[in-house]
């Protein structure tokens, strides 16, 4: 937050207010803090004026997205307008064939846009490689010499999130689960709502749209809960995630061979905590900010590393995405309605595409494949062995502890592919862990990385903290007088500023 505090001259202020490609607007920035305070004052004055409030929030959302991706907010408007028109048309159509054609049209617009920005270079390079192989096989010189030079394609921040959100709206209308909105501005408000615009959670239309028309009321409990979530999000992101990333995790993954297997393993544990704190920190802040505006979003993370099976993990991790993939991809493929073999295939397809959604790289596809195979195996084991049918609290304490340890390390194995810079780096990390471990350097590591180790211990302790303890902390914030709540926020901001030396980084999921 210090960037904004130290640059209050008019020229610097003008620079802060315009799009900076290397500095997207973050919830954790001082600029957003001051803009949001001003925004909130006007917003509350418009709480009884529905249309004015919708227009005002939509314009602020456009500005927020402009600060993240420049004038690519126009792309957001165009794709959202397309789905608004398709949604308005669909209830008027009787023919099921035409209704399906409209869904296909929406898929083409949304997925076509997504494919160009995220996957064009990946697919073109893959086709060029395929051409080389064919040319070599059939001795065709022109194909053997085929080389693809990647295009410099800018990836608009959060394009996957608002694309999936808009698609769910069209599919829900097609399934007759919701009615389309009548005003264009209402739909634009839904798609562009700034708290969850660039990194989720993916909020379904049937959850969000009815809240647009309700009178804005923020109870003391809602305010306290929102403040608690914002404080938690800031501490997770700016204190734990950024510090251990900048001072330890990035070093390991950038040059695995410079470190022992023990340090590589601890780097993997560090990344598991980093990505959780980074992404759940954003979700906490998004949900908290929405609460202050009178909107309630569903929970997006539920202590996922407490999961005792991979199935439970995907019910706790990035819940809005995993439920989206289940409802709109897995079920659309047939789910578990077409036999056991087809169920396993559907699981694999869903997770492979989920991996590809995260990035156009073989590493992400393998990551999705690891989770797909794991889910299929767990489903098979549960259906064939009665003692493994129990989930969650139904399991015995001993089996649950073993399940948590196994699931956590399985997930960490997947994170290696997710975070590594290349498949070569993946091999180097695994080689170091399996052949060059050197446990004797542990004490040296602890003394050399005291702050990192402390933050990792604190992060994991709070993650594995019982729910009742978390609710007690939230209750303390909620019941505190306004002055004490303000003091809590000021202390949090002070801590964030002190940790700024570690380098505040953009949210990991901005790239997805």
From 318, 358, 378, 463, active-site residue? 358
Look-up: residue for tokens 């509350």?
44
Catalytic-residue membership of 358: yes
C-alpha to C-alpha distance for 78 and 231, rounded to whole angstroms: 35
- From the number of C-beta atoms within 10 Å of its C-beta (0-12, 13-18, 19+), residue 501 rates as exposed
CA torsion through residues 406, 412, 417, 422, sign = negative
CB burial of 102-126 (b: ≥16 within 10 Å; e: otherwise) equals bbebbeebbeebbeebbbebbeeee
Instruction: Read off the tokens for 216.
Output: 């804005």
- Whether residue 65 contacts residue 192, with contact meaning beta carbons closer than 8 Å, is answered with yes
Alpha carbon of 338 to those of 43, 330, 332, 344, 345: distances in Å?
50, 12, 12, 10, 10
C-alpha to C-alpha distance for 168 and 442, rounded to whole angstroms: 49
SS (HEC) of 407-445: HHHHHHHHHHHHHCCCHHHHHHHHHHHHHCCCHHHHHHH
C-alpha to C-alpha distance for 305 and 317, rounded to whole angstroms: 9
Q: Measuring CA to CA, which residue among 157, 164, 173 is closest to residue 202?
A: 164
Give the residue ranges of DSSP H helices in 182-318: 184-192, 205-212, 220-234, 242-244, 250-254, 261-292, 310-316
- Whether residue 363 contacts residue 417, with contact meaning beta carbons closer than 8 Å, is answered with yes
Give the number of other CB atoms < 10 A from CB of residue 354. 23
C-alpha to C-alpha distance for 406 and 49, rounded to whole angstroms: 53
Q: Indicate which residues carry an active-site annotation.
A: 358
């Amino acid at each position: 937050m210090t960037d904004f505090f130290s640059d209050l001259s008019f020229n610097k202020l003008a620079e802060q207010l315009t799009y900076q490609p290397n500095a997207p607007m973050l919830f954790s920035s001082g600029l957003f803090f001051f803009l949001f305070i001003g925004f909130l004052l006007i917003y509350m004055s418009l709480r009884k004026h529905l249309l004015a409030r919708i227009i005002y929030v939509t314009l602020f959302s456009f500005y927020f997205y402009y600060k993240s991706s420049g004038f690519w907010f126009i792309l957001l408007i165009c794709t959202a307008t397309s789905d608004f028109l398709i949604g308005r048309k669909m209830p008027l159509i009787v023919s099921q064939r035409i209704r399906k054609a409209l869904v296909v049209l929406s898929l083409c617009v949304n997925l076509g846009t997504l494919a160009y920005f995220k996957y064009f270079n990946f697919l073109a390079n893959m086709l060029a490689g395929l051409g080389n192989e064919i040319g070599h096989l059939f001795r065709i010189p022109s194909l053997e010499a085929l080389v693809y030079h990647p295009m410099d394609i800018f990836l608009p921040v959060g394009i996957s999130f608002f694309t999936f959100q808009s698609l769910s709206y069209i599919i829900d209308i097609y399934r007759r689960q919701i009615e389309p909105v009548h005003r264009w501005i209402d739909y634009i408000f839904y798609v562009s709502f700034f708290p969850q615009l660039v990194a989720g959670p993916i909020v379904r239309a049937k959850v969000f749209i009815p809240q647009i028309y309700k009178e804005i009321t923020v109870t003391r409990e809602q305010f306290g809960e929102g403040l608690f979530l914002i404080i938690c999000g800031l501490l997770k992101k700016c204190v734990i995630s950024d510090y251990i990333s900048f001072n330890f995790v990035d070093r390991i993954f950038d040059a695995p061979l410079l470190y022992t297997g023990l340090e590589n393993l601890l780097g993997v544990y560090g990344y598991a905590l980093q990505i959780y704190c980074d992404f759940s920190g954003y979700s906490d802040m998004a949900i908290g900010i929405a609460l202050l505006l009178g909107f309630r979003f569903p929970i997006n993370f539920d202590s996922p590393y407490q999961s005792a099976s991979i199935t439970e993990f995907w019910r706790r991790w990035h819940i809005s995405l995993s439920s989206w993939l289940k409802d709109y991809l897995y079920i659309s493929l047939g789910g578990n309605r077409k036999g056991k073999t087809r169920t396993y295939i559907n699981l694999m397809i869903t997770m492979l595409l989920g991996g590809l959604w995260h990035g156009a790289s073989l590493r992400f596809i393998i990551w999705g494949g690891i989770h797909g195979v794991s889910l299929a195996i767990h489903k098979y084991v549960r259906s064939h062995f009665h003692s493994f049918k129990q989930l969650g609290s139904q399991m015995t304490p001993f089996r649950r502890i073993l399940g948590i340890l196994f699931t956590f390390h399985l997930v960490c194995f997947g994170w290696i592919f997710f975070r590594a810079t290349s498949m070569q780096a993946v091999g180097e990390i695994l080689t170091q862990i399996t052949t060059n471990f050197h446990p004797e350097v542990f004490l040296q590591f602890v003394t050399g990385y005291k702050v990192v180790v402390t933050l990792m211990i604190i992060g994991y302790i709070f993650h594995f903290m019982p729910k009742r303890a978390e609710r007690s902390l939230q209750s303390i914030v909620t019941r505190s007088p306004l002055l004490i709540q303000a003091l809590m926020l000021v202390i949090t901001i002070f801590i964030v500023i002190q940790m700024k030396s570690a380098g505040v980084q953009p949210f990991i999921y901005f790239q997805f």
